[in-house]
Amino acid sequence: MFPPTRLKSCLPVMNPMFKRLRPHRPFRQTPYHNQTKVSNTVTNTKWMNLRAIITRWVPLGSVMYVGWCYIRASVNYEVSKVEIKFYEMFPFRITSRLWGRLAACELPTSIRNFVYGTYVRIFNVNLNDAAITDLKYYKSLSAFFTRPLREGARYISPAICVSPCDGVVLNCGPADTDKIEQVKGVTYSLEEFLGENKWSENSDPNYYNSLLKDKNNILHQCIIYLAPGDYHRFHSPCDWTSKFRRHFSGKLLSVNPWMARLIPGLFTMNERAVYIGEWKHGFFSMTAVGATNVGSIEIYSDPNLRTNTKGKRNRVDELNINTSYCKGELFGQFNMGSTIILLFEAPKDFKFEFKSGERVLVGQALTGCAVHAR
């Protein structure tokens, strides 16, 4: 018979299954360098778990990807469909809701000058146009974003149609086909943008022609981008009556000019509130397009409108209305920069007073006064 100690020492050799039966060893303090290895392992695990991926890698990857898109836009790089789908997968609706809640939080009076002052310097905000220039007056970032203009800060031109907001013109001119140019060389579908024609009695099977009240006219468009530093309220561009409202839930992709050059049909993807009616020359529509961190679109005459709510992205809400607006009248506001799109019927000789890329202000004439004397 083998002594017990000899038998135990042979077991690991006889069968690997008995490796756990090794004799007990006295406790030994772990060397410092081993502790360092354990600490590094724990640190690496923290950076690779699900929470780290959501809170660290996804935001970092989003920033890097958007930056890469900006670089490619500067060299006229054509983005692929796979990259567009990948970009669309980011949870911009969720982040926009979170940003909205954060922006609505009341800030302590002691830090308002610093927070708003930093914002003013970064986005080149012109405080001289604000009704109240004291930064401590604004309780939250949202209140500062939607600050009113001082009396007389904008001159409303006597022209028949004026700019509804402050911003940069992405595109303007005739829209004589079903494919509308959102920026040079990049288009979007007129029917996808406005949706089914339920507001007109015109039964023309051609969608474009069904919008026109006078067959001698054509459609014209004006796309104005509001940057984060611009005045965030928008006004009625003319005297008109809105008869129908359609709200597309959509996505909240960025509508920066360089992003509009990369993604065809961007305005048909994003959340938007479309107001459709008539003006002097026939069909008229004004659309407020949402964007990243601009989930909240408020229309003063439409308190039932709720934007960036939970639910499916393909929801469409329709409402028959009958609201008249005067030129220069306050229409609504964004909670950050976004885009206003005007699509309207006018004679073929309608000419815009400015070109794409130029900056416009509320009340600035879209066209000469003498063109529409009829």
pLDDT tens-digit map of 63-85: 776 676 666 555 555 556 676 77
Residue-wise DSSP of 310-331: SS-TT-EEEEEEEEEE-TT-EE
Sequence-separated (6 or more) residues with CB below 8 Å from residue 78:
none
204 carries an active-site annotation = no
For all residues of the chain together, what is the average pLDDT?
Answer: 80
> Is this model's pTM higher than 0.85 or not?
no
232 carries an active-site annotation = no
Could you give phi then psi for residue 197, rounded to 5 degrees?
-80, 100
Q: How far apart are CA 256 and CA 275, in angstroms?
A: 23
The share of the chain scoring above pLDDT 70, in percent, equals: 76
Query: Among the options 235, 242, 247, 281, which is catalytic?
Result: 235
338 carries an active-site annotation = yes
pLDDT tens-digit map of 200-225: 888 788 899 999 998 899 999 999 99
pLDDT tens-digit map of 306-362: 887 777 777 888 999 999 999 999 999 987 778 999 999 999 889 898 888 899 999
Please say if the pLDDT value at position 10 is more than 90: no
Distances in whole angstroms, Cα of residue 75 to Cα of each of 62, 87, 237, 260, 339: 20, 19, 35, 15, 24
Query: Among the options 166, 232, 242, 285, which is catalytic?
Result: 166
DSSP H or E segment with residue 181:
strand 179-183
Strand partners, 167: 360
Query: Among the options 142, 242, 249, 338, which is catalytic?
Result: 338
The more confidently predicted of residues 32 and 270 is 270
Closest CA to 272 of 249, 293, 306: 249
